[in-house]
A and B are shown apart, each in its own frame.
Chain A
Amino acid sequence: MTLLNKIMYVEDDVDIQKVVRLSLEKIGKFNVIICSSGKEALDTIPQEKPDLILMDVMMPDMDGPTTFKRIRNTPEIADIPVVFMTAKAQVKEMTHYRELGVLDVIVKPFDPVTLPDTVKQIWEANHA
């Protein structure tokens, strides 16, 4: 199984960025890169090449689905798996996100204590 080490988190909310970094670094022992926008992520992904991208759906300027489509349309980074993080959504919206081709969807707010395990489970379920 491919090991999960470097995770990029794309989120515009500074408070949530800090909690997620703390959780993934201190509990999950992952190497974490934070980007504050879809544009910053698209600029950073080619050089950082994260194993996994966690991405907020609702961001100003370029939202999660738009950023995700751009990633998929950029051959050198197109294969990097993406997990959406979204506020409680209707079933229709969740289905739509999954149909776009993301690995999974994590619903916010989530417990920062269990987040690393959730991420590991999603990774293992798709990389067994």
Chain B
Amino acid sequence: MLDENFQEGFEALRGNFALKLQDKLADLISFEKKLEETNYKLEVLQELYQIIHSISGSSGMFGFSEISEAAHKLEEVLKTVIKGNIIIEPKIINQIKMLLSGLKKEMG
């Protein structure tokens, strides 16, 4: 049988994380403006990658699998761009926008 202290502690942490997700969503919306203003500059995409990586890992850990999956898809594209394997062209920017939109939808 699962440790009761674990179960209680986990539910408390999960509830707290669910509240934080709304702040994270607000941060993402603000970040979108920064992406537009800097025309999806590599340095800004690197910042976005850190944020998305964190959302992907932590949301999966708390059982928010749809959010984790949506974040992971975006994370993979950003990783390829950052490694220099894809040129930041309009097609890629559109893909990032689409995946970001999907992630926000899951978080909303």
Contacts and interface: CB of A to CB of B under 8 A. Distances in A.
Main secondary structure on B side of the interface with A = helix
A13 B61 CA distance: 12
Interface stretch (A38-46, A66-74, A76-84, A108-116): A108-116
Given A26-B5, A27-B3, A60-B50, A87 B10 contact: no
Given A22-B13, A87-B75, A88-B72, A13 B6 contact: no
Contact of A27 (B2, B56, B60, B75): B2
B83 to A, nearest CB: 11
Given A60-B50, A109-B68, A113-B2, A26 B61 contact: no
B57 A13 contact: yes
A87 B56 contact: yes
A16 B54 CA distance: 9
Nearest to B68: A109
A18 interface: yes
A15 B72 contact: no
A22 B5 CA distance: 9
Interface centre among B20, B50, B57 (most CB of A within 10 A): B57
Interface centre among B6, B13, B56, B72 (most CB of A within 10 A): B6
Given A15-B58, A16-B58, A22-B9, A87 B53 contact: yes
A123 B61 CA distance: 22
A16 B57 contact: yes
B40 interface: no
Interface in B1-26: 2-3, 5-6, 9-10, 13, 17, 20
B17 A87 contact: no
Given A19-B62, A22-B6, A26-B5, 13 more contacts: A13-B58, A15-B58, A15-B62, A16-B61, A19-B10, A26-B3, A27-B3, A87-B53, A87-B56, A87-B57, A108-B61, A110-B61, A113-B2
**Nearest 9 A-B pairs (CB), nearest first?**
A109-B60, A26-B6, A15-B58, A26-B3, A109-B61, A22-B9, A108-B57, A26-B5, A19-B61
Interface of B: 2-3, 5-6, 9-10, 13, 17, 20, 50, 53-54, 56-62, 68, 72, 75
